């Protein structure tokens, strides 16, 4: 009785010890009581009357080999601190003695003891236990087998590979997965074929695990079996198998890939050509060239990228031939893209000819490819297309890349262009050339009406002279306004607004002027302008400017822009009923987008969202990339249409009477990616 009180007091003193000396005294005093102290120390530890650090100190000092069975009983304790302390004692004090005793816990009814035993045995890696574990495996249930596989796998014990291979055919799915994971660590080549056979199963998790293991083994014999998964119904499996084949395969698998290149499923063909792209073996060139004829644009794009790596004289000749293929715009696009990545002097004349291509994308990429070639002979050809509104913005950087005195004259012409970004591009190009003869012209640009142009002129002059000029330092100019008015508020130049952006275009104004004269066309434009202003004001427009044959208008909400479109169409329909004939009628195109706009000194709206709206307004059926549920190329209306972006469609279709139909995907010049475009209608107008 007296000893129990004394031990309890010593435990309290140990817990409250202020110094290491006091702690050591209490520990040594408790050790003297031996077995009598142990249960009281554990009790105090369990009831949180003894801190873990102090408990660990006394237990490490007190316990010898005789205490091992007692310590093992703690590995399944409900309290994590006690379990952690027991495991630490076993690993540091009893590593050579605990393994065989731990085997008994693998069959415990308590999952906590089983898990702790597996963890410790995996850490101890006692080879002496291997025979007993092997024997237990043959007698155990699926859970015991999984635990044994985990332990033996961590040990990489002799004979484990054979055991794991046998487990691959077990009836338990979870056991098979455990065996596959263990084989990843062994990297045994003998496992390649049995694992490859498992890829024909239906379980997705198992297939993913097998793929991970085959990659870990790294044996290219697995590639054909993995390649078959490019046709799997599961998208994740297809993607993962594509990545695996790319890592394992070499040119010997090309015949199998060719077979998949003929599959009717476009997704299979995409994966197959992606594999070819990454093998990058010269022997794949013919197959990649064949892929250039695929109906799917993504297959063609990957094949193009792959061929840029393979290169070779025959491939250069192939793309030059395709660049001249007037019957297939997709081949011309892929070919001109190829020459944006591969430079060859033989492509000069075909690229110059492509500057007159019917397709704006081909023309634009031809400009950049000529810049990459850096051949002065291209300057004259580029000078002939300075007026091409769809590609002129790309010409300054191409001229700068070519360099030389000869490019200065066409750049001076571009400085007078009416489009701000063309002038900015020309200034950037002149700044790179650093020709002193350009200084007077650059000074003139300090007086440009656009702040961005003036700042670029400052930058170009600094590059040439080292001096910092000020905007307006050239000719005298009227003071530009620095604020714009919006709905009664003064907006500072450079401020950002989130708005609905609408672009309206009057169709065939040139044809009307040619038939009825300029005065009639002007009168028609005035009629349209009056109606536009009236309806725009009704819908609380924030900003409006003429674009020549149309208008750029912004509204606070998408609903305002949609109502404006349909109301104006209604007004114009009434006017058209009075027109002298069909050719004198007003026909319109609308595009609506939503996004951030940046206000310039004149209140104009700048930015990607605005540019995107202009691009959507002008899309053509010929440029349509069809989608399931969308239109065919010949279904897209040419006039009296309202097209909207995917940023707008949700708000638009919430409006009463508004219906929408997917048009399809479009590449929008100057804006990366593919973009969904929709056609909206108002049932109340019909």
Determine which of 116-130, 314-328, 383-397 has the lowest per-residue pLDDT on average. 314-328
User: What confidence category does residue 684 fall into, taking pLDDT thresholds of 50, 70 and 90?
Assistant: low
On the 0-12 / 13-18 / 19+ scale of CB atoms within 10 A, 665 is middle
Residue 16 confidence (pLDDT): 92
The reported pLDDT for the residue numbered 486 is: 42
Domain 495-685 part of CATH 3.30.70.1230 = yes
Q: Is the dihedral of CA 69, 71, 72, 77 positive or negative?
A: positive
| 33: nearest Cα among 71, 61, 72 | 61
Residue 580 has pLDDT above 80, yes or no: no
CATH of domain 2-177: 1.25.10.10
Mean pLDDT of 652-674: 90
Q: Which residues contact 548 (CB under 8 A, 6 or more apart)?
A: none
Q: What is the pTM of this model?
A: 0.41
Given a cut of 90, is residue 24 above it in pLDDT? yes
Chain mean pLDDT for the chain: 84
Cβ–Cβ < 8 Å for 111, 103: no
Rounded-to-integer distance, Cα 500 and Cα 333, Å: 33
Q: Using only C-alpha atoms, what is the Rg of the chain?
A: 39
Under the banding of pLDDT at 50, 70 and 90, the label for residue 280 is low
Beta bridge partners of 659: 681
Is the pLDDT at 630 greater than 60, yes or no? yes
pLDDT of residue 282: 58
685 and 570 Cβ atoms separated by less than 8 Å: yes
2-177 and 495-685 share one CATH topology?
A: no
Residue 516: per-residue pLDDT: 67
The residue with tokens 């997917």 is 662
Are the beta carbons of 460 and 427 closer than 8 angstroms? yes
User: CB neighbours of 434 closer than 8 A, spacing ≥ 6?
Assistant: 463, 464
Confidence of residue 218 (pLDDT cuts 50, 70, 90): confident
* CA pair distance 490, 2, nearest whole angstrom: 91
Any idea how long the chain is?
686
Summarize pLDDT for 25-70 with one digit per residue, the tens.
Answer: 999 999 999 899 999 999 999 999 999 999 999 999 999 999 999 9
pLDDT of residue 488 exceeding 60? no
Question: Per residue in 181-197, pLDDT tens?
Answer: 888 888 888 888 999 88
pLDDT at 492: 64
Q: Distance between CA atoms of 586 and 606, rounded to whole angstroms?
A: 28
Task: Check whether 483 has a pLDDT greater than 50.
Answer: no
Domain residues of the chain, as ranges? 2-177, 376-480, 495-685
Asked if 555 and 502 count as a contact pair (C-beta separation under 8 A), the reply is yes
Is-contact 49 40, C-beta < 8 A?
no
Average pLDDT value for residue range 341-368:
87
What integer pLDDT is reported at residue 480 of this predicted model? 38
376-480: CATH topology is: 1.25.10
Cα–Cα distance measured from residue 616 to residue 633, given in angstroms and rounded to the nearest whole number: 15
What is the rounded distance in angstroms from the CA atom of residue 234 to the CA atom of residue 203? Answer: 10
Indicate left, alpha or beta for 46 from its phi (over 0: left) and psi (-120 to 50: alpha): alpha
pLDDT (0 to 100) of residue 478:
37
Cβ burial of 488 (10 Å; 0-12, 13-18, 19+) is exposed
User: Is residue 592 a contact partner of residue 613, using CB atoms and an 8 Å limit?
Assistant: yes
Q: DSSP readout, 89-149?
A: HHHHHSTTTHHHHHHHHTT-S-HHHHHHHHHHHHHH--GGGHHHHHHHHHHS-HHHHHHHH
Q: Residue 306's pLDDT is what?
A: 57
């Amino acid at each position: 009785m007296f000893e129990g009180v004394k031990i309890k007091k010593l435990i309290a003193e140990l817990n409250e010890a202020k110094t290491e000396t006091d702690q050591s005294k209490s520990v040594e005093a408790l050790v003297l009581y031996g077995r009598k102290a142990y249960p009281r120390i554990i009790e105090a530890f369990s009831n949180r009357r003894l801190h873990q650090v102090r408990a660990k100190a006394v237990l490490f000092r007190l316990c010898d080999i005789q205490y091992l069975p007692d310590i093992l009983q703690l590995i399944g304790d409900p309290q994590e601190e006690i379990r952690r302390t027991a495991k630490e004692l076993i690993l540091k004090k009893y590593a050579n003695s605990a393994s065989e005793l731990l085997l008994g816990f693998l069959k415990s009814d308590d999952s906590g003891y089983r898990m702790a035993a597996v963890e410790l045995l995996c850490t101890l890696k006692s080879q002496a236990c291997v025979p007993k574990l092997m024997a237990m495996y043959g007698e155990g249930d699926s859970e015991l087998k999984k635990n044994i596989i985990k332990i033996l796998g961590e040990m990489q014990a002799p004979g484990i590979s054979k055991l794991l291979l046998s487990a691959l055919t077990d009836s338990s799915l979870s056991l098979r997965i455990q065996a596959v994971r263990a084989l990843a660590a062994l990297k045994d080549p003998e496992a390649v074929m049995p694992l490859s056979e498992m890829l024909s199963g239906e379980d997705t998790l198992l297939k993913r695990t097998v793929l991970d293991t085959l990659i870990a083994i790294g044996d290219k014999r697995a590639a054909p079996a993995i390649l078959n998964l490019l046709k799997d119904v599961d998208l994740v499996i297809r993607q993962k198998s594509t990545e695996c084949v790319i890592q394992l395969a070499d040119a010997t698998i090309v015949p199998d890939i060719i077979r998949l290149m003929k599959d009717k499923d476009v997704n299979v063909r995409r994966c197959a050509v992606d594999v070819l792209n990454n093998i990058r073996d010269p022997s794949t060139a013919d197959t990649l060239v064949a892929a250039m004829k695929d109906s799917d644009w993504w297959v063609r794009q990957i094949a193009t990228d792959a061929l840029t790596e393979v290169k070779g004289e025959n491939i250069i000749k192939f793309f030059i031939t395709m660049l001249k293929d007037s019957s297939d715009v997709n081949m011309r696009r892929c070919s001109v893209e190829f020459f944006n990545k591969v430079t060859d002097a033989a492509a000069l004349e075909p690229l110059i000819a492509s500057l007159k291509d019917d397709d704006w994308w081909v023309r634009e990429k031809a400009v950049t490819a000529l810049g990459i070639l850096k051949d002065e002979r291209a300057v004259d050809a580029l000078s002939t297309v300075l007026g091409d509104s769809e590609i002129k913005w790309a010409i300054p950087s191409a001229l700068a890349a070519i360099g030389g005195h000869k490019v200065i004259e066409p750049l001076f012409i571009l400085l007078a262009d009416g489009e701000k970004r063309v002038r900015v591009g020309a200034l950037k190009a002149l700044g790179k050339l650093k020709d002193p003869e350009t200084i007077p012209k650059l000074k003139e640009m300090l007086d440009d009406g656009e702040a961005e142009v003036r700042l670029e002129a400052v930058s170009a002059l600094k590059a040439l002279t080292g001096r910092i000029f000020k905007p307006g330092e050239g000719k005298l100019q009227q003071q530009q306004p620095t604020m714009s008015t919006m709905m009664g508020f003064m907006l500072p130049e450079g401020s950002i607004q989130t708005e609905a952006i609408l672009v309206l275009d009057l169709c065939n104004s040139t044809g009307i002027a040619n038939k009825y004269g300029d005065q009639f066309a002007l009168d028609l434009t005035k009629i349209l302008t009056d109606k536009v202003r009236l309806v725009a004001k009704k819908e609380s427009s924030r900003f409006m400017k003429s674009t020549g044959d149309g208008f750029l208008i912004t509204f606070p909400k998408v609903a305002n822009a949609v109502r404006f479109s349909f109301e104006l169409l209604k007004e114009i329909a009434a006017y058209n009923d009075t027109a002298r004939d069909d050719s004198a009628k007003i026909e319109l195109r609308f595009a609506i987008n939503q996004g951030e706009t940046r206000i310039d000194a004149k209140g104009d709206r700048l930015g990607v969202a605005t540019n995107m709206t202009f691009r959507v307004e002008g899309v053509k059926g010929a440029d349509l990339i069809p989608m399931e549920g969308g239109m065919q190329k010949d279904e897209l209306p040419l006039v009296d249409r309202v097209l909207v972006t995917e940023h707008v469609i949700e708000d638009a279709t919430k409006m009463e009477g508004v219906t929408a139909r997917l048009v399809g995907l479009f590449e929008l010049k100057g804006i990366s990616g593919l973009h969904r475009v929709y056609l909206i209608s108002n049932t109340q107008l019909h």
